[in-house]
Structure formats: structure tokens, C-alpha cells
Structure 1
Amino acid sequence: MGAEAALQLAEKLLLTATGKPLNDLQRVILAEAWRGHRYGEIALRYGCTEGHVKDVASQLWRSLSLALGERVAKNSLRAALARRLEVERLPLALQLPLPENPNFVGRLAAIAAIDRLLAQGHKVIVIQGEGGIGKTTLAQHYLQLRGFDQVLELMMAKEPPDILPVERVVEEWLRQDLNEEPGREFGVTLGRLKRHLQTRRIGLLIDNLEPALDSHGKLIYSQRRYLELLRVLADWRVQSVTLMTSRDRLCEPALAVEHYRLPGLSVEAWQQFFSAHQIFIDSNLLQEVHSAYGGNAKAMGLLCGEIRADFDGDAAAYWQEYQSQPLGVTTLGNLVMTQVNRLAQLDAIAYRLFCRLGCYRYQAVAQVPSTALAALLWDVDPTQHAQVMAALRNRSLVEYHAGHYWLHPVVRAEAIARLRQSPDWELANRRAAKFWSASVERITTLPTALQALEAYYHNIAIANFEAAAAVLLQSRDNQWGQYLPLASSLYRMGLIQPVIEAITLSLEKIQDPQQIGELHNILGDVFWITGQIHQAIRAQEQTIHLARQHLAQLRSEPDDARRHYYFRMLEVDALLSIGLYQLDLGELEQATQQFSQVITLAQGSKHQAWAEKAYVCLALTQAHLGQFQLAQQLAEQGYQALLSEAATASPGRYAYFIQRLGQTYSLLRQSTKAQKLYQKAIVFAEESHYIQIKANALSGLAALYRCAQQPQPAIAYHQQAIALLAKLGAKCDLAEAYYQFGLTYQQFAKANLSADFTQQATHYLNQAIALFGEIQAPRQVKKIEQVLLP
């Protein structure tokens, strides 16, 4: 192995271990150490001190030791990398032993077959076979066995209407698993996923594909956008491996996938499985049973559970009872039906729990805890709960691991069919919805948010739309220190499309004015974030109309203080929001009117907090209009409010307005106050992962350095801000950041007579014009065009 090959291998290993590419000095150290040169010689060649080379090399050897799993030093580098290269050249099937798992047997040939297909250059493999044959188990074990850097999973819904949109799937992969913000447009989001797939060994599992396929094996019309994802996964340039499982063949001519037909397990595998579970069976009898079920893996597990639970481990006794009707149970579906019928006869309580478990979706939350099962045992003494759950486990009618449960797709189909026909359908979903809502006290992560959202889907399933809306509006503390409705926390975490879909459906069905008003209020902010400002304004106008209508009715009911407070809160919040939207559009006079209305309605009332925010926003509009004296007075009022003890205790509620106040002081040329506010906003944003606020504050700091005639920090902060906002896809803020960057280049171009700076200024100002044009903000476009004039 030459130095170049060694360097490439080491760089790949270190990139995987640290997530960072090598710098120039690290590359030189690796190459020269490979050739046997001393640290002093390396320092001389690179032009630095020997001590510095030793420090960098020491860290390099530590990182490489972690990546290789053995101690690496300068003198052992060649041998360690040579050993690793030999391992990588071995056939994959010879590299790692199968994990010892008594429930995973007989799949060495299947693993070797997948290895061969991957070695031939295939990136996407469809593992095809009948239900219960073991497709999912094989795919999961394969991805675990091959030691991928990360595994991403998508469990496809059983029913086509319940399939998650591909946009949402990729968003969740990026945010939850890959620690990256998705874009607001799907093409941008896919591009970010592709970069991860090209630089890291990622394994992907798309399970149970057939509900998304039509009778010809093509993706159904409503899910055609999955093709865009599959094309990325099949690209020859990615390092990733994608395994899909399906009962049906995927027949998309434009898609490069390879199929592997998974056979049933051998008789030997069945023998190994039964022996591992302490069930001893005559070889002739085993041959007969195996033949009856075609070696189906799930059937094997169900039979084992039945023999163990009801026949005391006596396989002959089991078969004596069922051999007269083998044709009636040869398919897995029929076997499940037979097993469930028997459960109904032997254990009515466990049978009811089995049926009720069909109400859980096993999608965003793929496995449910034992407390979720207990929630469905509302008519059973809690002291018996563990016994009932054990009865299902013993018969293999539920999958179980580490205290969590789920149903095999074929088994769930039977459970949900029976539940729909029983009187428990509505109550089971109500109980499940109540469980999910109660299980999340605080929204701190994306999984907790998705867990809370499960309650919405249970209420939709039983057409309880008011309860579904109540789930979206249930307020909790979140990671930003705010007490917000679930829908608001979800969109702030980036789950834009699910929130729009859920709110839109709810608004079509509900009648409660409070719910309608608040959902329109939230929907307005979602549209604002995505750059659909005019739709956002219309949504808030509906909120205001409804709130004022009910406030007028409440004049005759002066004792109903709670409802009066609520509708006034909706009104002032919607007015404040419209003012912010118009501020982004550059409609400063209209924004002024909105903020003034908020102050008039909220000043000195229980809604004083909205008045304080409106003072901050009004100060900014007046500064933009050149009314500096008034802006100064308003800013001071806002400054005192935002730095008060109450505001400091709840920074999440005011962080957005802190950076807005920083913009005001920047326009007033009070850079010290502006800088203090921007830095305060950044500290909060970094602690709570509030990227949008951080980016806007960085853009504000850049403008301060521009005014201070310091080009280097100004340009650096602009670049950071634009990179963050481009990732978020926040069009309004990104357009403003482009504008500010253009102004910076323009100012320094004039000072330095730099043609390059002039070109950069024109580029960023045109970028701003393009985005403001998409947003339909003609005032902003006109403002920038005037700046561009010679």
C-alpha cells in the first residue's frame, strides 16, 4: 500500500470518527510519518515548530486509535493501516460473525446473497417475500451486522391513506438522526440528505413497501414523490445501502433497484429455533409441520409460542389437534386467525388486549411501552396487567424487546379488523389518545413532540375532530422555555407540513370558535415561516374577525372573564403578528398601525406582555421611517421591559424581540446596546437550538462591524448568518441577510475601489431581490433596486 492509498484510508476513517476533514498539516504528518520521517523533518518541510507538529500528531494518533479500535502511534501507523485495508478487502460475509440470537436463525445464505448484490454495485435492494417470511428481521439484522455509521428506518403504514409524505420522512431523518435542519423546499432537503449519504456509511431500511404500490408494482399516485428519494438512494455515488422489504415487486422502470426473493427457512433452521426454545420435536413430525407452513418464520414463532403456552412444550400433542386441518392454516393469515380464535377461547382478557393493540399505529412511534398496554386494560385490575401482557408474549402474538411492544403487520391487520367490529373501537382510541397526551409533560426533543402528536391521529380515527384539535392546542413547556401549544412547538422544530395538514383538516371539521381562532393564529405563523406572507395575513385576519365577533357577543356577558381574556389575547396576538409580517414586506406604515392597535388594546391590561412586544416592534418601524426621536423613546420602553426580571426568567418568550430591539439600536447608531442585545439573543439561541434567532442576530452583528469599518468580522458574520438561514429556508430572513451582505460589500467596495467587492455586492443584492420577489414584497424590491442604482 502506497502513501496515497494510506492517506485516503486514514482520511476516510478519521472523517467517520470525527466528522471533520483533515487539514493541511494533518495530511502532511500522515504522509511523512508513513514514509518514516521524523517530527523535526516534518516541521521543517511544513514551516512550523517541532512542538506544534508533535501536538497535532498526538491528537491525530488518538483519533485514529479510536477509529481503528487499536492503539496507533507514529511507528505503528503502517502496520495498523495495512491490517485495516486487508479487512476491508475481505468478502463482507467473512468479516463479522452473526450475533448470537436464538430468534434469528438460518440466514447465512441470505446475508451472503445481499453481500454479493452490494459488491456488484447495487445500492438499493428489495427483499421480497410473503408476509411473515422474515424480510424485516433479515434487513434489521443485516444493517446491524455490517456496522453502519448510522441506520435510518421508515416503517410504511399498513393503509395507503396513513402513509407519511416523503417530505416529512426526510425532514425527520435529517433533524432527528443526522442533526441537520431540513430546507423549506423538498429539493433542498433531499440535497442535504444526499451529502450525508455520499460522505458516510449509512444504512437505510424502508419496511413494508407494498401499501405504497399499485397493482402494477408502481408507486401509487399520492406517493409518487417517493421516487425522488429512491433516485437519490440508488445513485452510484452514495456510500449508503438501502434495504426495502415488500410482498410485491417494485416495478418502476426509471429506478435502478435489485430484487432478492427471500426463501422460507430450512427444516434445519426450524430445528435450531425449536431447540433453542426448549421444544423437542421428532424429525419426521418437524418435516411435516415445516412443509405445511412453507418454512414461514413468523409461523415458526407463533407455533412455538402456542406449543409452549397451551401444550406444555409437547409439539406432538399440538399437531395431533391441528393435523386434521392443515390446509386451513397453511397461510400465515389463516394461522394468525386460528391462534387468535384459540386465544379468545382460552383467555378472554388477553384476547381483548390483543384486539385493542390494533389501535396503535407503530409508525412515528414504532414500539410502545408497557404503560401503553396498561392504558388499554381499563377494565382489568392493575395487579393482573403483567400477567395479561405475558400471555400475549408467550404466544408470540406480540413482538417484544426491552420493555416495548409492537405488532407484526400481518398480526396487526387481524387485530385491527377485530377491534373495528367490536364495541371497544372508540374507547380504545380514546384511551390511547389520553395515554399519549399524558405521557409527554414537556416538549424537549423531536421524539417527544411526535409522541404527543400520536393522540391527534387516534382522535381522527374515530372522527372526534374537536378532541384532535385540542391535542394540537394543548400547551406544554418546551426546550425554548416557552409554554406553547403542541402545534407551535412542532413547527418551531421544523415539522411544517404535518402541522399545516393537521390544522387544515381540523379547521374543515370543527365548530368551536376558540379552537378555530387559535388554529388560524398558529397557521398564520407557519405560513410566515415558509415565506407565504400574504396567506399568513389572511389567516390572522380570520382570527381577528372571529375574536372581535365573540368579544362583541360577550359584552352582554360581563361575568365571563375567561372567554373575554382568551378572545382579546387572540386579537392582540394576531394584530402583532400581522404587524411583523408587514414589517418583513416593507409596509412600514401599515405595520405601524398594527403595533399601535396592539398597544391601545393591551396597555395596562392582563395582556401587557403584548404591549411590551409591540413597543419594540413600533420602535423598529419608526427607526426605519427616520423618526429617530420617537424610535428612541419607544426603544427605551422596550429595553426596560425585555431586561426586566420577569423577561430574564423566561427568555424564550422574548428572544425574538431582543434581536429585533438590537436592530433598532443599530439603526439609532447605538452600537454598544445593539451588540449587547445581539449577544444576549445568540447565547439564548445556542442554548436552546433556536437557529433562526441566532442567524438574525449574527446578521445584525455583521451590520455593526460594517458601520465600524471592520470588513473581516463583518463578512464572517454575514457568511455564518446566510449559511444558517439557507439551511432553514427562512425566505424573509434570508432575503434580508442577503440585502445586508450586499450593503456591506458595497460600502467596502467604495472605500477600497475593489471591483471584486462591487461584483459581490451586486450578486447578493440581486439574490435579495429574487427572494423578496418570490415573497411578493414590492416595497422591499424597490428599496434594494434603489441601492443598486449607480
Structure 2
Amino acid sequence: MDVQQVLKFADELVFTKTGKHLDNLQESILRGAWQGQRYSQIAEDTNCSEGHVKDAGSELWKILSEVLGEDIRKSNFRATFKRLNFSNFSSSFWKDFIHIGDFNICGDTPHSSNVSQTKPPSEETPTQSQRRRDLREVPDLVPFYGREEELATLERWMVSDRPRLVVLHGFSGIGKTALAVQLLQQIQEDFDSVVWRSLRYSPSVEMLETNLLEFLCHPQQIDLPADVSDRRAILFDQLRQNRCLIVLDDVQSILSNQQLAGNYQPGYEGYSLFFKQIAELSHQSCVLLITWEPPHELSALNGDRTPIRSFHLQGLGPAAAQIFRDKGLADEDCFWKAIAYFGGNPLWLKIFAAMIDELFNGRISEAFQYEPLFLGEDLSSVLQQQCDRLSDIEKIALSALANQPGSVSVSDLLATGTLSPENLLNALQSLKRRSFIQQEQSLFSLPPVLRQYGKTL
């Protein structure tokens, strides 16, 4: 299915709804969305303002959503059209009768699905439980940089190796959710049902299970039992019968602050058994957890020969330079110095780039003239939010590391006399799980920005 086929079919859909064919700007938006371009790139190519292009795009996605009966956005346009596989329809069939999802489109008027449905003989009718999607909570795609190797690894795991549970973890702002959204575009066709949920507002495990069951069992309208174990048994039946992908974002929201990494908030311990059962009970589905830190009970179950995989997402390499180019910053010879200083964290780099643009007229070299490097209120607030999660012994260990000139061993840290061996080892293990520290063999270190910030604790 190529872009010309997509444009041709989209034109038919828009004409069906509005009586008008695609104009040049709408074609450019569709072409750009298909090719993964940002609105700013489309605006440059069409000599329009970015705001005008976004407004036109919003109206176009609304039209397509109404005709197709599902939420169409720039972020999911390509994946949706590939899933619906419009290239199988002949041109004459488009004009005479089109069946899509729950709508039959004939002439200019969309009709409900109780009208006799016509499909090409080669296309099988999916069951009610297949090809179901609930992606309302998926964030819009942001500019995405690099990550080809990470995407390839995760795709291989989830499509070929088929683990039951994958934990994608890393420091706040490192790009976990953006990577997962990109991954979703590539793998969702390998699953019968796909649902994305955020745990940002800390729903109980019972609320989450009920919500998932209502999606997976729809439209069967079954009466859910009151007993938690009975309800969970029905959920696992669904995971066995169909290949489902469940993405749970912001898992750190159900984990405790000011304790060692991976402990649950009071009242949320039930998630521990839920995640373990996802990993241990037989089914054909996959649950992807996105979190700042992995729940501690999953660490022992992780491995290439187990149904759990853990992916620690680290900072961007040279691809991060595009963040500075997009901001129009000067001094390309300083780009890599800044990337290394901030550990390749995309969020930190974006905040830093905005500050350079505001205070130093876009010249990174001028910022590095000051020691220590000025971080600014915005970045300091982000770092403080992460540090607020640390336990007391982690803060002591972090401060001790920050005051070392480089990589140090456990014995070097013990020599400072700040913590007992047990507390130090617990703190280092927890800080590593929270992605604060880097380890090379038996030596530990901090990224420069965390070393600078750690001295203030």
C-alpha cells in the first residue's frame, strides 16, 4: 500500500462526507503524516504557518474519524490505514460500496452496520473479539529521534519472542513513552486487541482489571462477578483466547516515594500479585509496563529464558543533536559536550535548549563559560521531582558519589564513613534501578548534571 493509494482512498472518504475533494494542503498533510513528518516540516514544504497546518490537519482528522467510525489522528493515521488495508479495494468498489469497521458507506451517506455488509471475497470477516483498539490515552507523537536499535529489539521481543510481560524503565524524560508510542505503530497489527492505560492517577488494581475486562469483553455485556479472584480468572481467559497487548504507562505512580526503589504505595500491594500472575500464568498476550523504576518483585523473574523481559532505556547518542538543530542553536561543535553533560536525556536537553535560546541567543558555548553550569529553574524543578522519590540512605549515597571526582568503587564510598556496608549496598542497588547511577564493572559514577545537582542535597 503506497501513499498514492492512501491519498486516493482518503479523497473518496472526504468526498463522501463533505462533497469536496482533498485540496492541496490536505494532500500535503496526509502525505507528510504517512511519511512521519512533523507539522513544522509540512508547513515549511507548503509555505504555510505551522498553526494553519495544524488547524487544517485537525479538521481533516475529524472528517476521517467521523466517516471511519474511529478516532483518527496524525499519530495513528498510518497504522490505521495499514490495518484497514484499503489497497485491497478496487477503485470501482470504492465508488459503489465501501465497508469499513462498523460503517457501510454507500454514495454520500454513511449507514449503520445493520445494512447488509459487502466485502471482497478474499477478505475474511474478523470475529467480534479481534482487531479491537482503545488508544484514547495514547499521547500524541512528539518529534522522535533515533532509537532504531531500541525499536528493533523491543519489536523482536514482543512479536517473535512473545514474552508475557515487558518492563520498559528509565529516568524521567528519557523518552520511554515516546518510544512505546512509536513501537505501537509498528507492532499493533500483530495483536487482536490493543489497549493503552495510564496509571498516573493511581487506580486500584481492582479498578484497572474491571476497566480492562469491560474493554476486552465488549460487546458481550457479561455480568462481572464481585469476587476479585473470579474477575481475574475471566481476564486471564480473555488473555488466553485472544492475543492482546496491554500497555500500562506511569507505573511509578503506584510505587512509593522515600523508600527503596520498586516498593508499592500502601493499598497498592495487590499489583504485585497481578504482575506476577501476568508473567507466570499461561496465556498468549503481552503486558508492557512503562515506569521510572521496575517493581522490585519482577527483577528476579527477568531474563532471556523467562516470560519477563526488562529494557533499561538510556540516553540518546548523536541523534540528540537534532534537538538543538530543531531549536536553531549555534555552536554545533558544542552539541556533543551538552549531550554528554545531560546524559542524552531528551527532556533535559529540550529544557536546556530553550534556556540557551532565551538567555544566550542560541549559543551553547556561552553557557559553558560559567561554572557550575547554570541549570535554570525549569530543569532544577524536574530534577528535584525525581530526587524527592529517594529514601534517606539513597540521598546520602548520591551526595557521596557527587563529591567524588569520577568513577569510584564500593570500598571508596565506604571509606567516606557515611553509610554502613548494608545501607550503602542497598542504596546503590536502588539508585541503579532508578537510573541515577552508571556502572562499569565494579565502578559507579553519575552523569555530570546529576553530580552537579547531587552536591546540593
Q: TM-score range by the shorter chain?
A: 0.3 to 0.5
Q: Greater share of strand residues, 1 or 2?
A: 2
Could you say which structure has the larger radius of gyration?
Answer: 1
Q: Give me the TM-score of the superposition, normalised by structure 1.
A: 0.27
